[in-house]
């Protein structure tokens, strides 16, 4: 059956799919733990009976029993003839239903994690699904079903596998959790837009929940769907009875939900786990004669990451594409990309996202770099570390294709021009992966100066794109900003292009705004004014640095004044009220320095402690007095707040760091005054051999240092020999040991026994995740639960050593 | 971290700092994981024999796996970069942030085992089976830390950039493994 026949079928009626397979096989004798596909081939009458019953119950489509018939899962049962097995199971389904039903070649997850979470390569996953597709084609299926996908990237791999082998009708359904997202965090609208733009002919959800929970998912998808929607729920939420999972929803109750599905726009219904031929019979009777709701739109102007969708519409606030992931003129970024490090890329992504970027432009073009490889690497990194959709920015067509292939969402290409090669190379690629693109109106002859010339190019590129199925929703026209410094006519020609594209050509528009002020002083004013002018003319997207406050302020004002910011929500959010933290600073004005020092330590204010101490010293406060009468009481108070749980660990550490910084500032003054009061004793501290984690030990060292102990920190994974050697050299008053594991804890005893034998005469203090007070007692050491207690214990041991 | 709901009070500035550090941690953590389903051949009182000649000696684990025909071995890591940042923060007077990074990494890597369990439960549902709610990690109870070597080899954690020290610790430190049973 070709695609048009399918489309007509969906227009005419609600299409009914079959119900559960696994539970039906078990009911008919399949033992637990066997490979269902092998068992079906060994017991063909059983699977034929199930397929037949579903068709007799009214199912228009049955799924082949090939959910796990991929190389990885079959490999666990030592089966290697994957193509043959899928073909045989497809033939079996065909034989069972004859001409009374359609057969869908069914593919489930591979069972392994695809990169970047797992080590299964994306291309390898595509190859695995292609084997199944080959078997289905040989077995004569009518359509394909990719189902129970929890990872959008795996769903993409399966869909690409189908699309690279055949144009046949393909249904893709994802599995959503109770929170309405897949396990990987993809919401239904994002999955829908990603999959329908990649070429899925019907999209929806199956498994996981019962019909009641699935209705809102269909309702959320319908406004954005250009394809029929599918719901294949379980027979309710499973209940655990004894050791068995039981689906309790009866056939009538299950079928009753179909009316709600239809009212929300579903086109295809069926059943998943726990459903039976009875459920499908009831379903068929309920939906018979009901007219399906056609997709409400033919295209959608939206891009998405794996977790977020951004829709472009003229009456919505201006969208900002963060421009900073671009190595041009950025030496640090260039070096990092060349060295293979991506921390700066992630930092730029994080900063821009926080500053309000709706999308991130990604350009990795550096001289001497393998751009195709680097682009893939950066896209894979940002796909997991950032939630906003990406804009693939490159002059290299291969790099763009590589990025689109691995990107787990719908991307925006920056850009396709009227240049012959660009059109030839990139439009088919954009079409294959369903990407949107920025249309940049220039040609092989260069940049046209007037708006009229640009309009011609826009029309011409669009006409070529239409041949590949693109609509005006799929493109964003770049008005092409030239600097006012070189041509005073240029700004208005660009404005005319934006206005014409937006109001007459009726597509979304974009400007790389900051080019306008290149070469001019005080650029922010030109950028801001130009932005306001463009918003008034219908601009939908700007490429800019969202970290520029003035620019983002003008954006907020322009959105409000052009009625894109309904109820002034965004404007008020941006400007209303001063954060509490800033008010606090104001309220402290006029405090005497000693109070400010006290509060700086209580509040962990590491930024201001030095300047406040500087003021205090200038006012001739003695350093010693500041430490003893102000800082020590403050940090002691912090310890009490921590003990009473009013503070938690980060606050304790912030205060301790403020204290440390303060003491370092006062150190020269204390030395000058020859103060010796601070030296409470020497502590040798280490995390024992075998333990490689030492943050707890670092906290204790910081706290002890602040309280006037001279701390010698030997680090982590320190052997007994090194600790003993250091003890001989430094003669500490206390040796403090930390251990994280029971297996390494035993090293504490070894060290303590050896030091005692040598008669070094010091005390011992131990702590760490697995160390208990009773173990400490057993090895004759003092025990401290945390940093605050360590200070108290150390002071007690030091006093004892001094004979106090 | 000692946070107690309703008791711990955090001033705005510190809250912002903590939130920023959490975001920073999230950008540095690259969770990767692996899982393998292995048939159980025999469960004794003190040991479990899995296929491929794998033997675990642990009474607690044997008790947990009682009645299971298969075991799921799983592992995950937060990656190297977060550990470098924690070390760096500890050395450069940014211990406050380091402590938050450390806690976020611990939470996320533990959550990733929950994610793996949910992933497999989603598939097992179709077989009318499910995972045990509990899971065992090497170093827990009588399931000795030495078993980390078996987990490491079976899960091929080396391919995820994880190393095993002589004392059976996983490096990067924010790496975890666990065994669960498949019931039904």
B45 near A CB under 8 A: no
pLDDT of residue A592: 67
In angstroms, the separation between the Cα of residue B63 and the nearest Cα of chain A is 16
What band does A118 get if pLDDT is binned at 50, 70 and 90?
confident
Both A697 and A767 in one domain: the answer is yes
Both A314 and A212 in one domain: the answer is no
Does B30 contact A32 at a Cβ distance shorter than 8 Å? no
Q: A-contacting residues of B 110-129, CB under 8 Å?
A: 115, 118-119, 122-123, 125-129
> Mean per-residue pLDDT for B8-33?
89
Of the listed ranges A147-161, A199-213, A726-740, the least confidently predicted one is A726-740
Reply yes or no on whether the pLDDT at A220 is more than 90: yes
> What is the separation of C-alpha B180 from the centre of its chain, rounded to a whole number of angstroms?
12
- CATH label of the domain that carries residue A606: 1.10.1240.10
- Residue A386 domain-assigned? yes
Both A610 and A653 in one domain: the answer is yes
Reply yes or no on whether the pLDDT at A497 is more than 90: yes
Both A470 and A552 in one domain: the answer is yes
Q: A756: cis peptide before it, omega within 30°?
A: no
Alpha-carbon Rg for chain A in angstroms: 34
Taking only the tens place, the pLDDT of each residue in A243-288 is: 667 888 999 999 999 999 999 999 999 999 999 999 999 999 999 9
Strands (E), A368-507: 390-393, 412-417, 436-440, 475-478
What band does B5 get if pLDDT is binned at 50, 70 and 90?
confident
- Residue A574 domain-assigned? no
Residue A77 phi/psi, 5° resolution? Answer: -105, 20
Q: Are A173 and A148 in contact (CB under 8 A)?
A: yes
Using N-to-C axis directions, what is the helix angle for A609-618 and A593-602, rounded to 10°? 160
How many residue contacts between A and B have a Cβ separation below 8 Å? 190
What band does A667 get if pLDDT is binned at 50, 70 and 90?
confident
- Residue A567 domain-assigned? no
Q: B-contacting residues of A 618-637, CB under 8 Å?
A: none
Interatomic CA distance for residues A27 and B179, integer angstroms: 30
Does A742 contact B125 at a Cβ distance shorter than 8 Å? no
Domain final residue, candidates A649, A672, A695? A672
Reply yes or no on whether the pLDDT at A605 is more than 70: yes
Domain that residue A11 falls in: 3-287
Which residues, 6 or more positions from A758, have their beta carbon under 8 angstroms from its beta carbon? A724, A727, A728
Name chain B contacts of A645, Cβ cutoff 8 Å: 2-4, 7-8
Both A596 and A448 in one domain: the answer is no
Please, is A624 exposed, middle or buried when counting C-beta atoms within 10 Å of its C-beta (0-12, 13-18, 19+)? middle
Number of domains in chain A: 4
Pairing of strands A782-783, A763-767: parallel
Residue A240 phi/psi, 5° resolution? Answer: -95, 110
CATH of B12-183, one of 3.40.50.700, 3.40.109.40, 3.90.1580.10, 3.30.70.3170: 3.40.109.40
Both A781 and A646 in one domain: the answer is no
Both A344 and A241 in one domain: the answer is no
Higher pLDDT, A243 or A379: A379
SS3 at position A688: strand
What band does A771 get if pLDDT is binned at 50, 70 and 90?
confident
- CATH label of the domain that carries residue A426: 3.20.20.20
Domain final residue, candidates A242, A258, A287? A287
DSSP A654: H
Which residues, 6 or more positions from A774, have their beta carbon under 8 angstroms from its beta carbon? none
Interatomic CA distance for residues A685 and A687, integer angstroms: 7
pLDDT of residue A199: 96
Which residues, 6 or more positions from A345, have their beta carbon under 8 angstroms from its beta carbon? A325, A333, A336, A337, A378, A381, A382
Q: B-contacting residues of A 18-47, CB under 8 Å?
A: 20-23, 26, 32-33, 36
- Residue A293 domain-assigned? no
Does A183 contact B118 at a Cβ distance shorter than 8 Å? yes
- CA torsion angle A115 A118 A123 A127 (round to 10): -150
Taking only the tens place, the pLDDT of each residue in B71-108 is: 999 999 999 999 999 999 988 888 999 999 999 999 99
> Where exactly are the structural domains of chain B?
12-183
Taking only the tens place, the pLDDT of each residue in A391-420 is: 999 999 999 999 999 999 999 999 999 999
Taking only the tens place, the pLDDT of each residue in A138-152 is: 999 999 999 999 999
Of the listed ranges A98-107, A153-162, A198-207, A734-743, the least confidently predicted one is A734-743
Most confident range (mean pLDDT) of A105-119, A235-249, A423-437, A585-599 is A423-437
Both A710 and A653 in one domain: the answer is no
Both A625 and A654 in one domain: the answer is yes
A237 near B CB under 8 A: no
What band does A579 get if pLDDT is binned at 50, 70 and 90?
very low
Reply yes or no on whether the pLDDT at A677 is more than 70: no
> Mean per-residue pLDDT for A683-696?
85
Reply yes or no on whether the pLDDT at A584 is more than 50: no
What band does A483 get if pLDDT is binned at 50, 70 and 90?
very high
- Residue A565 domain-assigned? no
What band does A577 get if pLDDT is binned at 50, 70 and 90?
low
- ipTM score: 0.86
- pTM of the entire predicted model: 0.85
Give the distance between the most distant pair of CA atoms in chain B.
57
Q: How far is CA B5 from CA A234, A648, B9, B12, in A?
A: 38, 11, 9, 16
pLDDT of residue A204: 97
Domain final residue, candidates A261, A287, A313? A287
Alpha-carbon Rg for chain B in angstroms: 19
Name chain A contacts of B166, Cβ cutoff 8 Å: 690
Both A634 and A488 in one domain: the answer is no
Q: Are B145 and A739 in contact (CB under 8 A)?
A: no
Interatomic CA distance for residues A322 and A343, integer angstroms: 17
Pairing of strands A359-362, A319-325: parallel
Both A469 and A546 in one domain: the answer is yes
Both A97 and A228 in one domain: the answer is yes
What end-to-end distance do the CA atoms of chain B give, in Å? 38
What band does A92 get if pLDDT is binned at 50, 70 and 90?
very high
Using the Cα atoms of residue A730, residue A735, residue A737 and residue A743 in order, give the sign of their dihedral.
positive
Q: Are A637 and A672 in contact (CB under 8 A)?
A: no
> What is the separation of C-alpha A324 from the centre of its chain, rounded to a whole number of angstroms?
19
Q: For a pLDDT cut of 70, what percent of chain A falls above it? A: 97
Does A653 contact B95 at a Cβ distance shorter than 8 Å? yes
């Amino acid at each position: 059956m070709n695609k048009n026949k399918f489309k007509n079928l969906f227009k005419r009626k609600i299409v009914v799919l079959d119900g559960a397979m696994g539970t039906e096989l078990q009911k008919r004798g399949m033992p637990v733990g066997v490979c269902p596909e092998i068992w079906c081939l060994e017991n063909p009458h059983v699977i034929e009976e199930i397929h037949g019953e579903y068709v007799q119950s009214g199912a228009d489509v049955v799924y082949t029993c090939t959910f796990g018939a991929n190389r990885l899962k079959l490999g666990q049962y030592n089966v290697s003839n994957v193509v043959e097995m899928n073909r045989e199971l497809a033939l079996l389904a065909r034989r069972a239903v004859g001409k009374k039903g359609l057969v869908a070649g069914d593919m489930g997850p591979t069972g392994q994690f695809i990169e970047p979470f797992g080590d299964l390569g994306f291309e390898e996953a595509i190859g695995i699904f292609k084997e199944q597709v080959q078997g289905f084609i040989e077995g004569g299926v009518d359509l394909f079903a990719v189902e129970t996908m929890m990872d959008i990237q795996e769903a993409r791999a399966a869909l690409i596998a189908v699309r690279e082998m055949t144009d046949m009708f393909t249904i893709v359904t994802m599995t959503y959790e109770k929170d309405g997202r897949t396990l990987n965090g993809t919401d239904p609208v994002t999955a829908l837009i990603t999959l329908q733009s990649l070429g899925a002919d019907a999209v929806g959800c199956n498994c996981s929940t019962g019909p009641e929970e699935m209705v809102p998912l269909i309702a959320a998808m319908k406004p954005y769907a250009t394809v029929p929607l599918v719901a294949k729920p379980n027979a309710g939420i499973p209940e655990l009875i004894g050791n068995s999972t039981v689906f309790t929803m009866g056939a009538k109750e299950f079928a009753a939900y179909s009316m709600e599905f239809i009212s929300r726009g579903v086109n295809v219904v069926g059943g998943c786990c726990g459903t039976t031929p009875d459920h499908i019979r009831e379903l068929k009777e309920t939906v018979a004669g009901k007219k399906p709701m056609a997709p409400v739109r033919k295209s959608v102007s939206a891009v998405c990451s794996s977790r977020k969708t951004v829709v472009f519409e003229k009456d919505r606030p201006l969208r900002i594409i963060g421009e900073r992931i671009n190595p041009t003129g950025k030496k640090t970024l260039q070096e990092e990309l060349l060295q293979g490090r991506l921390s700066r890329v992630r930092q730029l992504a994080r900063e821009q996202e926080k500053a309000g970027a709706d999308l991130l432009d990604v350009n990795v073009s550096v001289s001497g770099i393998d751009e195709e490889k680097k682009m893939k690497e950066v896209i894979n990194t940002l796909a997991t570390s950032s939630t906003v959709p990406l804009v693939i920015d490159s002059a290299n067509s291969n790099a763009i294709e590589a990025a689109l292939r691995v990107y787990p969402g719908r991307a925006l290409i920056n850009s396709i021009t009227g240049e012959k090669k660009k059109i030839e190379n990139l439009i088919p690629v954009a079409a294959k992966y369903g990407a949107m693109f920025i249309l940049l109106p220039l040609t092989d002859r260069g940049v046209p100066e007037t708006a009229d010339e640009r309009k011609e190019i826009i029309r011409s590129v669009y006409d070529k794109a239409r041949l590949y199925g693109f609509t005006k929703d799929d493109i964003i026209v770049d008005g092409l900003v030239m600097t006012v410094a070189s041509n005073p006519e240029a700004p208005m020609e660009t404005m005319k292009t934006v206005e014409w594209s937006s109001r007459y050509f009726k597509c979304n528009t974009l400007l790389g705004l900051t080019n306008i002020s290149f070469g001019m002083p005080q650029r922010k004013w030109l950028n801001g004014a130009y932005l306001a002018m463009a918003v008034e003319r219908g601009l939908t997207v700007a490429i800019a640095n969202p970290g520029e406050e003035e620019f983002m302020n003008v954006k907020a004002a322009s959105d409000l004044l052009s009625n894109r910011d309904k109820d002034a929500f965004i404007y008020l959010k941006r400007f209303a009220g001063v954060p509490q933290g800033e008010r606090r600073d104001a309220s402290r004005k006029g405090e005497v320095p000693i109070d400010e020092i006290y509060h700086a330590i209580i509040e962990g204010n590491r930024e201001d402690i030095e300047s406040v101490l500087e003021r205090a010293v200038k006012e001739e406060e003695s350093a010693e007095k500041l430490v003893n009468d102000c800082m020590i009481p403050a940090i002691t108070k912090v310890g009490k707040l921590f003990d009473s749980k009013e503070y938690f660990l980060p606050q304790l550490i912030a205060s301790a760091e403020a204290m440390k910084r303060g003491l370092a500032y006062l150190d020269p003054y204390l030395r000058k005054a020859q103060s010796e009061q601070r030296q409470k004793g020497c502590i040798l501290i280490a995390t024992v051999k075998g333990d490689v984690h030492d943050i707890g030990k670092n906290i204790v060292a910081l706290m002890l240092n602040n309280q006037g102990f001279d701390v010698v920190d030997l680090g982590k994974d320190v052997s007994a020999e090194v600790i003993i050697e250091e003890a001989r050299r430094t003669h500490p008053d206390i040796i403090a040991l930390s251990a994280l594991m029971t297996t390494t804890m035993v090293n504490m005893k070894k060290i303590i026994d050896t030091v005692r034998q040598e008669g070094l005469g010091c005390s011992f203090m131990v702590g760490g995740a697995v160390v208990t007070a009773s173990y400490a007692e057993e090895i004759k050491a003092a025990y401290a639960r945390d940093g605050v207690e360590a200070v108290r214990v150390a002071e007690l041991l030091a006093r004892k050593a001094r004979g106090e | 971290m000692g946070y107690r709901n309703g008791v711990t009070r955090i001033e705005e500035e510190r809250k912002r700092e903590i939130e920023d550090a959490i975001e920073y941690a999230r950008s540095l953590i690259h969770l990767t994981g692996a899982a393998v389903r292995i048939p159980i051949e025999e469960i004794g009182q003190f040991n479990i024999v899995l296929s491929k000649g794998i033997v675990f000696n642990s009474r607690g684990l044997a008790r947990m796996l009682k009645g299971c025909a298969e075991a799921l071995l799983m592992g995950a890591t937060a990656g190297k970069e977060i550990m470098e940042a924690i070390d760096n923060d500890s050395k450069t007077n940014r211990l406050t942030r380091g402590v938050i990074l450390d806690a976020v990494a611990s939470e996320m890597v533990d959550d990733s085992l929950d994610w793996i369990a949910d992933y497999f439960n989603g598939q097992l549902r179709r077989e009318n089976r499910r995972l045990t709610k509990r899971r065992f990690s090497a170093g827990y109870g009588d399931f000795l830390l030495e078993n980390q070597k078996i987990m490491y080899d079976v899960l091929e954690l080396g391919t995820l950039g994880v190393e095993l020290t002589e004392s059976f610790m996983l490096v990067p430190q924010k790496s975890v493994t666990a065994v669960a049973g498949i019931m039904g």
